[in-house]
């Protein structure tokens, strides 16, 4: 039965990926539904959209800004009133529409950023579009599209002597996983849910899910001797449903506030509270006390189902909280869904997609629940040992949570205390009798290794190390101890960001903005495994690098992320050297490899 279930899920994931790719290819082969053109004149400029039959353009989604972010108000005609299924009563345009911007409003601007969005009458909504309009050459560049020719056949101005031809070879396209996910948000319901469940399955072995595997295993161990494959599957399924519900809640929160609830919950109070829960679980596993509901609540919960509602309720709550706080990963599918919900307000579609994403991510957890219970001991000394072992795991999770808010040296000391304490637990300093077996000797060897590691952590903390996986790296060569992005200017407000962008534009270099946070584990991995690579460092030397620190959850950091529609860290945004507009196709969302990031930088060089 389990093998059949595994085959069905894999087939569904493959089918969803194939269907998504086929639909993306079909969409790419079609002509644009909204073709924008520009007609400069002495008294201003006119923007004109030609709208494909069966489609319509939203009046309130047309946004015009100057390169410095100032919003302009074009003169738009009154649209047709429509009861739209996505946005309610709104004004839309069919066939074509023109927007005039007087010269006085332009105030000398030579480039404009124009955003717009529309839908099809058949119920499909297109992703928002951002176009760069060059008033001097009367060209329109769609984000991610290198074709700069006018989108409708207005007469082109005569070519300037010595000017480069407009149809010059376009640079290679960027690798962008988020861009490939966004079109799937407009699919029908079944392909949408299958696609996001497939994305979740692909993310199942990433740092978003791996920290939850020992949590589920520990939950099974705490269930005691009555654990069976059915019982284990049920607990893991309830945990997964709680986790998936948390991701759906992210979509609802994004619709209400336009923010990522995961990022909002990465506060010292929330992380400390969650760490305290895992410390309590650890102490309970060590036998110091029993965690159970008060009798009056326990009786009401257990009722007629033999005391099983309590653990099920606990599994659901633990899954919900773990998804939001333990594994705050920003992946391209998650970022795409949250961005879609925040921009369109389509709560039902976004929440359903994220729920399916959570179910896909929970598939390996259900495998652990189904088969893990069969290998866990039922009773005897081994059960006590396994209980204590998972107590150590819970302490490690608590330490990892606290490491997001504590100074690096204090974090290393906590890891050292945990390593040395675990070494004592493994019997590093116990005497083994002469006949002793292999298992006690392996335990003693593991304990001694952990003790040495703990000592190295203490030395590294005293020397200023910040990486628990490489505590002695500070004693290596300068190439290993060099700080990645050490020349980056750190900003925490919009005013500081604008000033840093202005400096970069004055230098005439492309601008890279790295959205990072102290609590973001993937950000630290990017710093260590990507930004510190010599090839990446060499290419970053030609850029103005800005680090947007969004560690604190404040109105300023929220405004920083909203400026570029950033869901959460790690996200890297690139701005063009000439006009300061974002090179949308180059955006990096989530953790990527050094090779992939280097390819992005190479293509950025080719573009400039």
> How many whole angstroms separate alpha carbon 163 and alpha carbon 136?
13
pLDDT value at position 62? 93
b/e code 73-101 from CB counts within 10 Å (16+ = b):
ebebeebeebeeeebeebbbbbeebebbb
**3-state DSSP of 503-518:** HHHHHCCCEEEEEECC
Q: Which H or E run contains 38? A: strand 34-41
Q: How far apart are CA 511 and CA 347, in angstroms?
A: 34
CB atoms within 10 A of CB 481: 13
Residue 171: per-residue pLDDT: 39
pLDDT of residue 491: 92
Q: Which of 244, 207, 224 is nearest to 366 (CA)?
A: 244
Start-end of H helices in 469-511? 478-481, 494-507
Burial class from Cβ neighbours inside 10 Å (0-12, 13-18, 19+) for residue 495 reads exposed
In this predicted model, what pLDDT tens digit does every residue of 526-564 receive, in sequence order? 888 899 888 898 888 889 999 999 887 777 888 888 888
CA–CA separation, 144 vs 70, rounded Å? 23
Q: Name the strand (E) or helix (H) holding 98.
A: strand 96-102
- The H-assigned helical ranges of 208-325 are 212-222, 229-257, 261-264, 268-285, 295-302, 309-321
Token digits of residue 22: 């086929």
3-state SS, residue 135 = coil
C-alpha distances out from residue 401 to 275, 396, 562, Å:
6, 9, 26
In this prediction the pTM is 0.46
Backbone angles phi, psi at 489, to 5 degrees: -90, 120
pLDDT at 545: 93
Indicate if the pLDDT at residue 297 is higher than 60. Answer: no
* pLDDT tens for each residue of 137-174: 888 888 644 333 333 333 333 333 343 333 333 334 44
Q: Which CATH superfamily is domain 482-607 in?
A: Glutaredoxin (3.40.30.10)
Average pLDDT over residues 569-575: 89
Q: How confident is the model at residue 211 (pLDDT cuts 50, 70, 90)?
A: low
Q: Quick check: 544 and 507 in contact, CB under 8 A?
A: yes
Choose among 353, 356, 128, 117: nearest CA to 251: 353
Are both 33-152 and 482-607 of the same fold?
no
pLDDT at residue 512 tops 90: yes
Q: Are 45 and 135 in contact (CB under 8 A)?
A: yes
Q: Which tokens in the block code for residue 88? A: 């309610």
| CA neighbor of 268 nearest in space, from 570, 491, 552, 561 | 552
- Token match 């992210």: residue? 250
**pLDDT score of 27 more than 70:** no
CATH 2.60.40.1250 holds for 33-152: yes
Return the ∠ at Cα 532 (arms to 526 and 534), rounded to 5°: 135
Sign of CA dihedral 492, 496, 500, 505: positive
Token pair of 106 as six digits:
């332009």
Q: Tell me how far apart the alpha carbons of residues 69 and 327 are, in angstroms, rounded to a whole number.
A: 34
CB atoms within 10 A of CB 264: 15
Q: Give domain limits for the chain.
A: 33-152, 190-377, 482-607
- The larger pLDDT score, comparing residue 204 to residue 565, is at 565
What the block records as the tokens of 439 is 């298992």
| Closest by CA position to 94, among listed 57, 125, 121, 123 | 57
Selected residue with higher pLDDT from 397 and 19: 397
Residue 155 CA: distances (Å) to CA of 97, 152, 162: 19, 9, 20
Side by side, the strands of the sheet bearing 139-142 are 71-72, 63-65, 111-116, 129-134, 139-142
- The whole-number pLDDT of residue 384 equals 64
388 phi and psi, to 5 degrees? -70, -35
Residue keyed to tokens 């690098």: 545
CA-closest candidate to residue 565, choices 117, 171, 72: 117
Q: What is the mean pLDDT of the chain?
A: 72
Query: Strands 96-102 and 80-84: what pairing?
Result: unpaired
Residue 58 confidence (pLDDT) above 70: yes
- Whether cis (ω within 30° of 0) applies to the bond prior to 570 is yes
What is the predicted pLDDT for the residue at 160?
A: 38
- The average pLDDT across 243-259 equals 69
Q: pLDDT tens, 316-354? A: 777 787 676 555 555 555 665 665 555 555 677 777 878
Q: Bridge partners of 113?
A: 65, 132
- For residue 107, give Cα distances in angstroms to 45, 70, 74, 102, 466: 12, 11, 13, 9, 50
CB atoms within 10 A of CB 47: 23
Give 209's pLDDT tier (boundaries 50, 70, 90).
low
End-to-end CA distance of the chain: 56
Find the mean pLDDT for residues 579-605: 84
């Amino acid at each position: 039965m389990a093998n059949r279930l595994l085959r069905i899920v894999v087939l569904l994931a493959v089918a969803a990926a194939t269907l998504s790719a086929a639909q993306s290819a079909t969409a790419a082969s079609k002509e644009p539904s909204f073709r924008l053109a520009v007609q400069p004149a002495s008294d201003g400029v006119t923007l004109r959209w030609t709208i494909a039959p069966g489609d319509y353009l939203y009046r309130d989604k047309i946004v015009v800004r100057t390169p410095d972010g100032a919003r302009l108000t074009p003169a738009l005609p009154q649209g047709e009133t429509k009861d739209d299924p996505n946005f309610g009563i709104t004004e839309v345009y069919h066939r074509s529409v023109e927007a005039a911007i007087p010269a006085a409003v332009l105030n000398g601007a030579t480039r404009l950023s124009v955003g717009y969005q529309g839908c099809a009458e058949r119920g499909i909504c297109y992703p928002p579009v951002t176009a760069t309009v060059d008033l001097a050459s009367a060209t329109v560049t769609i984000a991610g599209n290198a074709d700069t020719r006018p989108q409708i056949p207005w007469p082109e101005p005569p070519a300037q002597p010595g000017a480069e031809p407009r149809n010059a070879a376009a640079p290679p396209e960027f690798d962008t996983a988020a861009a490939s996910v966004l079109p799937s948000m407009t699919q029908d319901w079944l392909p949408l849910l299958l696609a996001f469940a497939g994305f979740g399955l692909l993310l199942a072995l990433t740092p978003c899910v791996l920290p939850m595997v020992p949590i589920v295993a520990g939950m099974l161990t705490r269930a005691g001797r009555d654990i069976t494959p059915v019982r284990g599957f049920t607990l893991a399924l309830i945990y997964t449903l709680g986790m998936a519900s948390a991701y759906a809640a992210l979509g609802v929160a994004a619709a209400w506030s336009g923010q990522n609830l995961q990022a909002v919950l990465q506060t010292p109070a929330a992380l400390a509270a969650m760490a305290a829960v895992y410390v309590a679980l650890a102490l309970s596993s060590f036998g110091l006390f029993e965690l159970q509901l008060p009798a009056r609540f326990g009786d009401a919960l257990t009722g007629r189902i033999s005391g099983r509602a309590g653990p099920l309720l606990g599994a659901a709550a633990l899954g919900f909280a773990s998804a939001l706080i333990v594994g705050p990963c920003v992946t391209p599918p998650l970022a795409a869904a949250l961005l879609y919900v925040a921009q369109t307000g389509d709560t039902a579609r976004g929440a359903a997609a994220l729920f399916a994403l959570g179910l896909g991510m929970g598939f390996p957890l259900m495998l652990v629940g189904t088969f893990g219970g069969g290998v866990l001991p039922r009773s005897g000394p081994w059960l006590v040992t396994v209980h204590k072992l998972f107590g150590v795991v819970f302490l490690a999770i608590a330490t990892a949570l606290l490491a997001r808010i504590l100074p690096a040296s204090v974090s290393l000391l906590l890891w050292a205390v945990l390593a040395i304490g675990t070494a004592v637990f493994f019997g590093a300093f116990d005497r083994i009798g002469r006949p002793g077996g292999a298992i006690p000797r392996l335990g003693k060897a593991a304990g001694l290794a952990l003790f040495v590691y703990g000592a190295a952590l203490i030395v590294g903390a005293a020397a200023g190390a910040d990486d628990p996986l490489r505590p002695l790296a500070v004693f290596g060569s300068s190439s290993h101890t060099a700080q990645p992005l050490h020349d980056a200017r750190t900003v925490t407000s919009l005013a500081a960001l604008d000033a840093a962008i202005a400096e970069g534009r004055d230098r005439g270099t492309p601008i890279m903005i790295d959205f990072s946070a102290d609590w973001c584990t993937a950000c630290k991995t990017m710093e260590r495994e990507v930004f510190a690579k010599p090839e990446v460092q060499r290419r970053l030397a030609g850029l103005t690098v800005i680090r947007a620190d969004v560690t604190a959850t404040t109105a300023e950091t929220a405004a920083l992320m909203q400026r570029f529609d950033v869901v959460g860290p790690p996200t890297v945004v690139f701005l063009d050297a000439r006009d300061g507009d974002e090179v949308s196709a180059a955006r990096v969302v989530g953790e990527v490899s050094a090779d992939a990031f280097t390819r992005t930088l190479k293509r950025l060089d080719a573009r400039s």
